[in-house]
Structure 1
Amino acid sequence: MFKKVLIVDDYDVVNEGVLTMLYDIGITNVKSSQYCDMALLKIKTARQEQDPFDLLITDLSFKTDFKEARLKSGDDLIQTLREDGFDIPVIVYSTEDRLQRVRTLVNKYSINAYVCKGRRSIFELRQAISVIKDNKLFLSPSVENALNPQVSLEMDDYDVNLIKYLSNGLSYNDIIIILEKQNIKPRSLSSIEKRLNKLKVDFKANNVIHLVAIAKDLGLI
């Protein structure tokens, strides 16, 4: 069982709920941080003092305030820890449910669990702690398709957003205007059509409507 845990979340009410759950399962040595920079410092200091944390529970999104931050997200914190050689088990605890983001965190940064905040999140968080102590991966049901072989394609946020725009009834011209406003490339009609044709092949979709339906079924949008 884990003995020393660090919670990184900028909402006190979330920290309190997680803290209560940890106490209930017998984990009482728990620290918290509302900033990723401070969390990194605490983890480094604990290792230097030979009293390291053995579990990190972190959100991904943090609101900016008056404090200047180098690490602006949980993604930044996890990436830095891995690059610095920390193999501490990580549970991501977030409202974010984009499968692409989950897949990246699992495959690239070797997180151990991804728990989506919601009505059953504390129960799932308790499950996650039980599962990962046996070196197994835990994903909330709403994001478990992130590692589905059918989804493990070369997709990025650009592709997901294209499908999302189409699902909202936008035309190709509408999409081009949005991409221009956001200064995102490629944004020509031929580029968009080429990208969507590749996605239709990858997902074995008969047409764009079928592609959108498949993406919805897989939880991509």
Structure 2
Amino acid sequence: MFKKVLIADDYDVVNEGVLSMLNDIGVTNVKSEQYCDMALLKIKTANHENDPFDLLITDLSFKTDFKDARLKSGDELVHAIREEGFDIPIIVYSTEDRLQRVRTLVNKYNINAYVCKGRRSIFELRQAISVIENNKLFLSPAVENALNPQTSLEMDDYDINLIKYLSEGLSYNDITIKLEKQNIKPRSLSSIEKRLNKLKLDFKANNVIHLVAIAKDLGLI
């Protein structure tokens, strides 16, 4: 049973919901923090005082404000924690459901659970805590395909955006113009065609419509 938990989230209402759930399962030593830098500092301090946290529950998105921040997102917080050598169990609790991002957090930073915020999120969060106490990985149903071998093909945000633009009905010319406005390269017609042809081969798609359909089925867009 986890006894000391840190919640990193910049919305009080979220913290209150998670805190209530933790109290329901008997976890009463809970701290919260709205800034990633301070969350990392609390973890360091607790370890230095030989009273470490048993679990971190963190969001990924943190709004910027007047306060200077070195760590600006939950991803950066997780990265920093692992770089510092802390093996604290981590549950990511976020509205983000892109499989690429989930896969990176699991495979590169060894998070223990990924729970999507939504109507069943508190129930799933409770499930996640139970699962990781038994040294198993928990993924919300919305992102459970993140570790599917077919979604582990070489893809990045650029590829995902190309498919997303196609799903929105944009032509190759439209995509070129959109990428140019965003100052994103490569953006030539030939580069876009080559990349989409490679993706069609990787996903065994007959055409771009089929590619879009497969990406949607896998939760990539």
The interval holding the TM-score normalised by the smaller chain is: over 0.9
3-state SS of 1:150 partner: helix
Q: Counterpart in 2 of 1:130? A: 130
Q: CA deviation at 1:24?
A: 0.2
Q: Counterpart in 2 of 1:75? A: 75
User: For each residue in 1:124-146, what CA deviation from the matched residue of structure 2 results, as whole angstroms up to 9, or x when unmatched?
Assistant: 00000000011100000000010
Contiguous gaps of at least 5 residues in structure 1? none
Q: Counterpart in 2 of 1:216? A: 216
Q: Counterpart in 1 of 2:96? A: 96
Question: What does 1:84-123 correspond to in 2, within 5 Å?
Answer: 84-123=84-123
Q: Counterpart in 2 of 1:151? A: 151
- Matched residues in 2 for 1:82 and 1:188: separation? 39
Q: CA deviation at 1:83?
A: 0.7
- Matched residues in 2 for 1:198 and 1:54: separation? 44
3-state SS of 2:56 partner: strand
Contiguous gaps of at least 5 residues in structure 2? none
- Matched residues in 2 for 1:77 and 1:23: separation? 25
RMSD: 0.5
- Matched residues in 1 for 2:88 and 2:156: separation? 27
Q: Counterpart in 2 of 1:3? A: 3
Counterpart residue identity of residue 27, structure 1: V
- Matched residues in 2 for 1:121 and 1:160: separation? 26
Q: CA deviation at 1:180?
A: 0.8
What TM-score comes out, normalization by structure 2 length? 0.99
Counterpart residue identity of residue 200, structure 1: K
Q: Is the counterpart of residue 30 in structure 1 residue 30 in structure 2?
A: yes
- Matched residues in 1 for 2:90 and 2:76: separation? 13
Q: Is the counterpart of residue 171 in structure 1 residue 171 in structure 2?
A: yes
Question: What does 1:50-61 correspond to in 2, within 5 Å?
Answer: 50-61=50-61
- Matched residues in 2 for 1:83 and 1:183: separation? 32
Q: CA deviation at 1:28?
A: 0.5
3-state SS of 1:23 partner: helix
Matched residues, number: 221
- Matched residues in 2 for 1:9 and 1:86: separation? 20
- Matched residues in 2 for 1:149 and 1:91: separation? 23
Moved runs in structure 1, 4+ residues, more than 4 A?
none
Q: Is the counterpart of residue 190 in structure 1 residue 201 in structure 2?
A: no
- Matched residues in 2 for 1:36 and 1:136: separation? 26
What TM-score comes out, normalization by structure 1 length? 0.99
Counterpart residue identity of residue 80, structure 1: A
User: For each residue in 1:39-88, what CA deviation from the matched residue of structure 2 results, as whole angstroms up to 9, or x when unmatched?
Assistant: 00000000000000010000000011110110000000000011110111
Q: CA deviation at 1:184?
A: 0.9
